[in-house]
Chains A and B, each alone.
Chain A
Amino acid sequence: GNSVTQMEGPVTLSEEAFLTINCTYTATGYPSLFWYVQYPGEGLQLLLKATKADDKGSNKGFEATYRKETTSFHLEKGSVQVSDSAVYFCALSDYTFGNEKLTFGTGTRLTIIP
Chain B
Amino acid sequence: EPEVTQTPSHQVTQMGQEVILRCVPISNHLYFYWYRQILGQKVEFLVSFYNNEISEKSEIFDDQFSVERPDGSNFTLKIRSTKLEDSAMYFCASGSERRYGYTFGSGTRLTVV
Contact = CB atoms under 8 A, between A and B. Distances in A.
Interface of A: 32, 34, 36, 42-46, 49, 51, 89, 91, 93, 95, 99-107
B56 A104 contact: no
Nearest to A48: B101
Given A44-B91, A103-B45, A93 B99 contact: yes
A32 B42 contact: no
Contact of B48 (A34, A91, A100): A100
Contacts of A46: 101-104
A43 B107 contact: yes
Contacts of A91: 43
A99 B56 contact: yes
A42 B45 contact: no
Contacts of A107: 42-43
B58 interface: yes
B91 A43 contact: yes
A45 B91 CA distance: 11
Interface residues of B, number: 26
Interface of B: 4, 6, 31, 33, 35, 41-45, 48, 55-56, 58, 91, 93, 98-107
A101 B56 CA distance: 8
A58 B58 CA distance: 31
B105 A43 contact: yes
Q: Per DSSP, are chain A's interface residues mostly helix, strand or loop, or mixed?
A: strand
7 contacts: A32-B99, A32-B100, A43-B105, A43-B107, A99-B56, A101-B45, A107-B42
A46 B105 CA distance: 11
Given A34-B101, A51-B99, A101-B48, A44 B43 contact: yes
Contacts of B105: 43
Contact of B104 (A44, A95, A103, A106): A44
Contacts of B45: 101-103
